[in-house]
Structure 1
Amino acid sequence: MLTLATAALTALPLALGPGNPDREPVEIDRNAPVISRDDIVIHAPLNHVWRIQTDVEQWPAWQPAVHSSVKQTPGPLRPGSSWLWSTDGLDGITSTVKQIEPGRRIVWGGPAQGITAVHMWTFTPTEDGVKVHTEESWTGDPVTADTAVLQQALDASLDHWLHNLKQRAERRP
């Protein structure tokens, strides 16, 4: 269940894209029973970290819990782009980009196993790399039924994801 955090994402209306700067940013559900936030500083260039995180088809190469990930929409990620992936026994997950500001922010969504989640990532340059911040919210009957366990699962999942991203981005050739 640890990587359900990255799999259980909600379908939200398409919002802010590179050509829609006047739209409000998509946020997590601040009233959800399970919310997790985490961040990490990665000592690598922003464009390198962004490329690793948004190359969804390469996730299995650096995220041990992700078994497959195939884009359904050709080209770079943009609002409406989707991919089909599996993680820790959850097969056939479809995630869709709801909002993206290349190099700065991405939000994707798609439901899974009764859980509705919103997953937001922000990338901020620092003097020696980039601060990656992620927030995710979960709602739905399974969350209400076992909030404490799912809170721990989401917290652990985001922590593992960030540390795997850091390890991949900081790896020397």
Structure 2
Amino acid sequence: MVHEEYVVTAQADPSAVVPVILDVERWPEWTPSIRSVRLLDRGPLAVGSRVVVSQPKLPTVTWTVTELDAERGFTWESRGPGVRTLGEHWARPVPGGTEVTLRLVQHGPVGAVIARLTRGLTRRYLRWEGDGLAARVTGGATR
């Protein structure tokens, strides 16, 4: 297992942050790490929802939501031969705002190789996503 993590504090209440996290189809508006996001299932994001995500320099991937808390965030996963990748997006209240933890965890023999090859890109994308989210919920600059 290999994981990368980025933690950012947004100066906003979780009630303002979590809806932005859960509105995955609008992520391209506030982070350059995402080209497009498309829900394959009707309705709001829920456990079992499938989501197609296109990112620069990476293959398009279908994610399935495995855990969702409407007040805290969600986890989704993608699978391929020899790899299972988890993407975690969690928020918690802290004095002065909301701490957001973004984590990418790769399992399996192929996952370890992919993690090594994409470590710099993954770190950059997590930072862009966290900082873009914080800016979005505080009225800062967005993409």
TM-score normalised by the shorter chain: which range applies?
0.7 to 0.9
Superposed CA offset, 1:55-98 (max 9, x none)? 11111111112111111112221110122221114454211110
Structure that is richer in strand per residue:
2
Could you tell me how far 1:45 is from its partner in structure 2?
2.1
Aligned residue among 51, 76, 90 for 1:122: 90
Task: Between 92-101 and 137-146, report the one with greater CA deviation.
Answer: 137-146
How many pairs does the alignment contain?
141
> What's 1:94 paired with?
62
Paired residue type of 2:124:
A
Q: Work out the CA distance in 2 between the residues paired with 1:50 and 1:84.
A: 20
TM-score after normalising by structure 1: 0.70
Q: Is residue 64 from structure 1 mapped to residue 32 from structure 2 by the alignment?
A: yes
Task: Between 115-124 and 42-51, report the one with greater CA deviation.
Answer: 115-124
Q: Is residue 171 from structure 1 mapped to residue 128 from structure 2 by the alignment?
A: no
Q: Work out the CA distance in 2 between the residues paired with 1:147 and 1:57.
A: 25
RMSD, aligned α-carbons:
2.4
Q: 1:172 to 1:139 in 2, by over 3 A?
A: closer
Could you tell me how far 1:41 is from its partner in structure 2?
0.6
Superposed CA offset, 1:89-141 (max 9, x none)? 44542111101111113111113686421122221112321111122211344
Aligned-residue identity in percent: 22
> What's 1:85 paired with?
53
> What's 1:28 paired with?
none
8 A contact 1:95–1:110 mirrored in 2: yes
Q: Work out the CA distance in 1 between the residues paired with 2:72 and 2:114.
A: 34
Could you tell me how far 1:52 is from its partner in structure 2?
1.1
> What's 1:137 paired with?
105
Three-state SS of the structure 2 residue aligned to 1:75 is coil
Q: Is residue 111 from structure 1 mapped to residue 116 from structure 2 by the alignment?
A: no
Task: Between 162-171 and 111-120, report the one with greater CA deviation.
Answer: 111-120
Ranges in structure 1 where 5+ consecutive residues have no aligned partner? 1-31
> What's 2:5 paired with?
37
Q: 1:45 to 1:76 in 2, by over 3 A?
A: same
8 A contact 1:95–1:109 mirrored in 2: yes
Paired residue type of 1:104:
R
